[in-house]
Amino acid sequence: MINASLCNQIFDQSITEYHQWDNVDQALNNPFPEQSIEALLFHKNWIDTVQWHLEDIVRDPNIDPVSGLALKRRIDKSNQERTDLVEYVDSYFMQLFQSVTIQQVATLNTESPAWAIDRLSILALKIYHMRLETLRSDASEAHITACQQKLNVLLEQRKDLSAAIDMLLSDMLEGKKYMRVYKQMKMYNDPQLNPVLYQTKA
């Protein structure tokens, strides 16, 4: 069964793959079998990695406003794709645990497995880029020290989150925890729900 260690391995692999080109327009080349959970996780992190760099680019204070708006639209689209994919991964877990007998004392978790794994994906990116900051030759010693301290915290955070995810999956397998999938229902992207969009259309 999927576990946090495998997730971390796949996320690190995706980040390394992206940085061979370091290009937000680089096409995804997923090394895992189509529709496998590994392929879904690799794709998930690839979206996160591209968006990480889009978020850097759009913050350029000298960016052309037209280009900046186009980037903002692209980031919005990426956010929706990320949300859709996380919910798809949750459907994998729903299917995986559908035959488990839920104990009477079972409880809900504060978040679903896929949304916890989403946090793990973002942590992998923070760790990768914070580590780069500790290796800069053009930065001050104070900067390097501060970034190393932050990196240590991020590594500890990944250790704790990984353990929590594994515990959640174990509890779900034993029927001690159960899950529900609540769609994010993002309203700003929906032309039927965002008043700026539907009033303009009218």
Model confidence pLDDT, tens digit, residues 160-200: 999 999 999 999 999 999 998 777 677 777 788 788 778 87
pLDDT tens for residues 113-145? 999 999 999 999 999 999 999 999 999 999 999
Residue 202: the pLDDT is 59
Domain ranges of the chain: 4-185
pLDDT surpassing 70 at residue 201: no
Q: What is the pTM of this model?
A: 0.92
Q: What's 104's DSSP letter?
A: T
Residue 200: the pLDDT is 76
| Mean pLDDT along residues 41-64 | 97
Residue 158: the pLDDT is 98
Q: Which two tokens stand for residue 102?
A: 């839920």
Q: Which two tokens stand for residue 45?
A: 């992190």
Dist CA 48 CA 82 (whole Å): 7
Average pLDDT of the chain, as a whole number: 95
Dist CA 173 CA 46 (whole Å): 28
For residues 84-95, b (16+ Cβ closer than 10 Å) or e, as one string?
Answer: ebbbebbebbbe
**Sorting pLDDT into bands at 50, 70 and 90, what band is 66?**
very high
3-state SS, residue 198: helix
Residue 154: the pLDDT is 98
